[in-house]
Amino acid sequence: MSHVHRPDGRLRLAATLLVSVAAALTQALSSLYAMLLIALLAMVIVVTADKTLLNNIGRRVLRVNAFLVIVWITTSVNWRYMAIDEAGTLLATQMSMRVNIVTLAASLLLARMSGVELGRAAVGLGLPNALGALLAQVARQVSLLSETKTRLERAMRARAYRSALGFRSLQVSAQMVAWLIIHALARSERISLGLRSRGMSSTRWPTRESTAWRALPKADWSTLGAVIVIIGFCLLLPTLEIQK
């Protein structure tokens, strides 16, 4: 269990979105290189402090880079003439850096954030209350329904079922989906009945107020401040190079 203080969810989400938008907007390779270098440095620092994050971040980075291999194979080479495509190579380079910057930033800034916290943070940043309430409810229902799915899979394995490409497997998958939907419908009826029997009004969105912006500790604001300064520096790099 980690006892490290994590900044307010709204500030962490805002910082993640800022990095994503900055990476999407800039075309300059020097800015993207600088952002990637700083993201890698931050990853080393965070992972050194909390080694349990290494597995999670490593898996995410590997997954996105597997996709980038396909991007490089299809865009950087002109297969008809067996030659390097310069425009394609530039595009693949920019994409590779953007994808890695954003994946690292999201993995580090949103580390250990739950679905409920994400919903509250998103509402705090202006997402409609209805969507925040839906996000929080979905996070809870996913954990409950995944238990049902695990039970179903265990029962299938006990009956010696093994997934393979064939009509039988597709039929079993369809049965599982149908069963999950029927289970979800029955569960939603029970929830509605339970809420009504406890006299709960169903005209308000079940959301919780966030801490006032002014009440947030300065240390939390410094995280967002540091991200803004770093992004500003990286975006200004191409103009500094021209002046030289």
Amino acid letter, residue 234: C
203 touching another protein, by CB under 8 A: yes
* 6 phi, psi to nearest 5 deg: -110, 135
Segment near another protein (CB under 8 A); pick from 47-55, 141-149, 212-220, 232-240: 141-149
Closest separation in Å from C-beta 93 to another protein: 12
Segment near another protein (CB under 8 A); pick from 88-96, 210-218, 223-231, 235-243: 88-96
CA 85 to centroid of chain Cα atoms: 32
Which one among 11, 43, 135, 224 touches another protein, defined by CB under 8 A? Answer: 135
125 touching another protein, by CB under 8 A: no
Nearest CA-CA partner of 126 in 6, 25, 13: 13
Copy the structure tokens of residue 29.
């390779």
106 touching another protein, by CB under 8 A: yes
Copy the structure tokens of residue 45.
């620092």
Buried b (16+ CB within 10 A) or exposed e, 203-237: eeeebeebeeeeebeeebeebbeebeebbeebbeb
Which one among 1, 4, 5, 25 touches another protein, defined by CB under 8 A? Answer: 25
Closest separation in Å from C-beta 179 to another protein: 8
Choice between 85 and 216, CB closer to another protein = 85
Choice between 186 and 240, CB closer to another protein = 186
Which one among 30, 55, 84, 128 touches another protein, defined by CB under 8 A? Answer: 128
Q: Could you give the C-alpha distances from 98 to 8, 30, 59, 90, 242, in angstroms and in order? A: 25, 12, 17, 12, 23
Copy the structure tokens of residue 111.
């580390």
Binders in 142-201 for another protein, by CB under 8 A? 142, 144-146, 149, 163-165, 167, 169-171, 173-178, 180-182, 184-185, 187-188, 191-192, 195
H or E stretch covering 77 = strand 77-78
Copy the structure tokens of residue 37.
């270098």
Choice between 31 and 107, CB closer to another protein = 107
